Amino acid sequence: MNKGYDIFDFDGTGMLEIQKVDAAGIFEDDSGAVKQAVHDGIKIIPVEDLPDNFGRRYFGWIDTLENREAIAKFCRKCL
């Protein structure tokens, strides 16, 4: 069953985030998709836990140790 969202690898960086699936037409934006993913039991990193120098600080990044490490690595490259 299509839930209208999926987990995507942001630009091949290994950073995983929830995004709406446009073709499904279920959500108007990614925010609605993230809310549904949380309801479905997917853990999301709280925005306040994201690095301050992360230019993509919004609610939607999958909360796993590997994803937190990928985000930290991405931020180190941006310094």
Q: Which of 49, 47, 69 is nearest to 57 (CA)?
A: 47
Instruction: Find the mean pLDDT for residues 53-61.
Output: 96
Instruction: Find the mean pLDDT for residues 45-65.
Output: 97
Band of residue 1 on the pLDDT scale cut at 50, 70, 90: low
Contacts of 57 (CB under 8 A, 6+ apart): 47, 50
* Token pair of 11 as six digits: 């630009």
The domain segmentation of the chain, as residue ranges, is: 5-77
The pLDDT, as a whole number, for residue 78 is 78
The pLDDT, as a whole number, for residue 41 is 97
